[in-house]
Every structure is written in structure tokens, then in C-alpha cells.
Structure 1
Amino acid sequence: MTRHEQKEDEVRRMLETPHPQVPGDLAARAVERGTRLLRRDRAVRRALWALLAAAVVAFVVWASVVRPWEVPPAGTTPPLEGW
């Protein structure tokens, strides 16, 4: 008997056994869990959008104060001649 045939026999034996009883409130619990997951996903998405907005505002404030696009002033002074 090959390995494939052994697996087939095992599956057939599993299918011939009586099936377990399904709880009566399974659908209600599934709906409740799905609703809870959707609510959590929506809250996480809103929090991430708020975090992104805060990061954009912080970057704009930083850029307006520091002005990284301007050339910084020279660190040394020109030599003094004729003193």
C-alpha cells in the first residue's frame, strides 16, 4: 500500500465516524466575533491615520522652524587685514 492510499484510507475512516454536534449559538458567536474584529480594525485604522496626521504636522512645524532648505551661515569669519 502506498503512502497516498494510506492517507485516503485514513480520510475515509475519519469521514465514516459520527460527526460532532455543532453548538446552537455558533452563528451568533461568529457574528459577535466578526463585529468585534471589524470594530477593532476600524479603531486601529483611525489611530494610524491620526498618528500619520500628527507626524505630518510635526514635520511641517519642524521644517518651518529649522528651514533645512536654506544654506547655513559660514562657521568661520574672514581674516582681518590691516589692523
Structure 2
Amino acid sequence: MVTERANGPGWWPGSGEKGADAMGWFTRDEPEEIVFDEVIDTDDTVWPAFTDDDGVLWIDVDYDVEVTVNRAIVDGQIRGAEVDEHGRIWIDYDD
């Protein structure tokens, strides 16, 4: 199983702005960008989301909400995902 850790747009030199898309890197030798816009919780609700510079997942709504994320939408495909004890999202990228 290959797992990815999503990281915010500030991870890339010169970007520094929070965007609607979150980006990340593979845990393989060569980092590769992943992009996701939304996550899905255990109740099958789709939430807009992004990660900050530390890779912490944020649900992008104007009110307080607590959800348990178990999937992410990456390039239009639903992938398994989990959030660790530090709030970072890990996306299962097995084909």
C-alpha cells in the first residue's frame, strides 16, 4: 500500500497562499504533487477542504463542524483517507 501525506500549497517555494486545492507528496523516494478539493466523512457528506503549511486538514466552511474523514476526492476519484492524531490527512493511493 502506498500512502500519501497531503500538504498545503505553502509547501512549494514561492506559493505561500492558501488555495481551494490542497497539495501533498508521496512517501516514496520522489515527491509527487497530489491535489484534492474535498473530503468525505463517515456519514457520506462531502466537505470542501484544504491543508495548511503543516499539512493539517481544514474543512473549508464558515461554521464550526467536527467530522470523521475516511475518504478524499483526488482527480475525480474517491480514495480512502484518514486523519492522524496531529490533524494531517493521509490518502491511500493504491490503484
TM-score, length-normalised on structure 1? 0.17
Higher-strand-fraction structure: 2
Higher-helix-fraction structure: 1
Q: Highest CA radius of gyration, 1 or 2?
A: 1
TM-score, length-normalised on structure 2? 0.16
With a CA cutoff of 8 Å and minimum separation of 6, indicate the structure with the bigger relative contact order.
2
